[in-house]
Structure 1
């Protein structure tokens, strides 16, 4: 799988000839979302989202690894889940910079207070060659932040499925972002090599390789993205340990409606430790984790009221054999519970008194189904929320 991922990277590098935009918020537009109007210009921007919520049902086993796992039934709370503070600056027409601070309720200080940390900090050299930018520093990866996330459009409600499963949205490294047709901007690519540690300092010699190609069709209404990555990790029982994802994403969008489908296969080499019933020996299994996500969103009242809905299904282990094994342990973050399949559903309304202010009543349901050898009940985390989201500086 490593050779496959490397081959993709080499192919994309050779055929690269264009530049991809730095901010996928306006992915389907003709203009770059980060466009220098004049040299030596910059702007401050940010957003905040959070909720008032009530947890109506809880899985007491804490399965799923999503944002409400482990929260007890009948919990009520107000929360801010994310705050962004960013600054984009154009040094000149050729070079620009980006800094983004993030605070979340999942990464807090020892006293449980939210604190900002550096999420993005990078330097962009535009048109390193015609249509291709070089980006150095802490950068958004091509996993979803520049494709499925902006077209889903409701990160304030929930992460994309591979974000939940631990594929980084940002990383420290170097990237080429380009378009094959700079004038029309219908086809492009991303190549990136990075530490694989997000905002944390590097702790080993292994690197994460990211790549994608994308295209817009039918007057830019249809968007198609093919993604692959490779990450070698610390050995398991002396065996080579790695993850290698292949993902496809397709979305069709018009001004009043968007529908999208995303599916992935993550090849987890020598990842799961399975204990044999007959001998007690531990086998190290290579497994495929799989998932699919379907979403739709659209307008009910123009510029005032929208709707959204999404369904995900995931399986972290395709080699469950309860007649042979008595226990399974996963060793990759996001897939470390091979015993549980998950289904996620969310739906709600989006009231926008202003284009930069959103109030979104919604229901959030994460269901867990046991597939392991130990008998465990099936359960769901169900949360009823009023989510708020506001943007400034954009």
Structure 2
């Protein structure tokens, strides 16, 4: 019997007694408690993001692609996201989540539109299981919705690790929960994934990717958390891996000023790049193609609460990412200074303005691997 099958069997037998105990507890609670709560309960969510883009790069369009012919679109309006979501609680412990991005209909919809589509069952604070299509926990950004991040969009490394099956929307199953390690609260997550992206009819091979995340709450007052991520698996019969670490903090400087900081490092096999290359141009070992990246995202928030204006935020993310640092290295450095005005609570309304500045060690003409200065104004509404 092979090792991956043994792991799956052990995982199932681990969950059976927990599921049995939880079902008994739920039944008992339903009998003993008459709290008047009716199910199912529905919660609708939505997000609209529209942008104005202007590229100041030399013959670089608003999508970051260089055109040596000079025929290039350097200013454009764009609808980035038009998300509609539904969270349904079938019982106190069971929920189903659906999220679609209608803005994906503006281009080829293959592999797009449907984002979240999963069911979750919470046994207790120690364990909850979910299955379907979701964002597996493998870093800071996977746990934060894009509409409340402190920058225009997720980092370059988030999307690259997503192409390699570790982040972004993936199909599989996961177990999450909380426990205390002495006096330190710990959050954990363990996931088993197809690893070939969202909205796929089936896995494209028999390999699976196994990932885990631990978050240690080191300071409740300053919200200092340490996250550790690790993953192994197989893709097209090749062994792949990824790991990383991250730190978040949130300091209240005065009654109105707060300063928060995110630092995240990731490294892993870039098997997506490896299998995209012609066989005669790549080495025999997929481990020769490894990506790594790190970013720093400091953010200062000033609480205004003047009429409809809630706060002013200033941030500047610096990211250094290399898609293949062992062979044909070409480091991409990205600076993203941004000013954000918040209207209402929890970013109900938000106007953001700033730049995305890309610098490569080596420019490649007629590709997106080219220096660029992109100016953005982004408007969002969420509910």
Q: Shorter chain as normaliser: what TM range?
A: 0.7 to 0.9
Question: SS where residue 215 of structure 1 aligns?
Answer: strand
Contact 1:56/1:73 (8 A) holds in 2: no
**1:131 shift after superposition:** 2.0
Contact 2:187 2:216 in 1 (8 A): yes
Deviation at 1:151, TM superposition (A): 10
Aligned twin of 1:51: 51
Indicate the residue corresponding to 1:27 in structure 2. Answer: none
Gaps of 5+ in 1: 19-36, 235-239, 321-337
Counterparts in 2 of 1:41 and 1:83: CA distance versus 1, 3 Å = same
Distance 1:339 1:371, change over 3 A: farther
Secondary structure class of the residue paired with 1:164: helix
Residue 354 of structure 1: aligned partner: 344
User: Conserved in 1, the CA contact under 8 Å of 2:343 and 2:349?
Assistant: yes
CA contact (8 A) 1:49 1:156 kept: no
TM-score (norm 1): 0.71
Q: List per-residue Cα deviations over 1:297-349 (Å, max 9, x = no partner).
A: 121353321111100011223334xxxxxxxxxxxxxxxxx452201110111
Seen in structure 2, the aligned counterparts of structure 1 residues 152 and 213 have a Cα distance that, compared at 3 Å, is farther
Shift in Å at residue 143 of structure 1? 2.1
**Partners of 1:77 and 1:152 in 2: CA distance:** 21
1:241-280 per-residue CA deviation (whole Å, 9 max, x = no partner) reads: 343111101011135121111111213579759x9xxxx9
Which of 367, 387, 391 is matched with 2:378 structurally? 387
Tell me what 1:90 maps to.
Answer: 89
The runs of 4+ residues in structure 1 deviating greater than 6 Å are 113-116
What's the offset of the Cα at 1:74? 5.7
The CA RMSD measured in Å over matched residues stands at 4.0
Shift of 1:353: 3.0
Structure 2 unaligned regions, length at least 5:
19-36, 253-257, 305-309
Please report the TM-score for the alignment, with normalisation by the length of structure 2.
Answer: 0.73
Find 2:158's aligned residue among 159, 163, 167: 163
Give the 3-state SS of the residue equivalent to 1:340 in structure 2: coil
Q: Cα–Cα, structure 1 residues 51 and 109, in superposed 2: closer, same or farther, change >3 Å?
A: closer
Larger relative strand fraction: 1
State whether residues 179 and 189 of structure 1, in contact with CA within 8 Å, keep that contact through their aligned partners in structure 2. Answer: yes
Instruction: Provide the rounded CA distance (Å) in 1 between the counterparts of 2:361 and 2:330.
Output: 6
SS at match of 2:157: helix
Counterpart CA distance in 1 for 2:319 and 2:379 is 23
The equivalent residue for 1:312 is 319
Counterparts of residues 75-114 of structure 1 (less than 5 Å): 75-104=74-103, 108-110=106-108
Give how far 1:185 is off: 9.2
Distance 1:371 1:246, change over 3 A: farther
Match of 2:255 in 1: none
* 3-state SS of 1:165 partner: helix
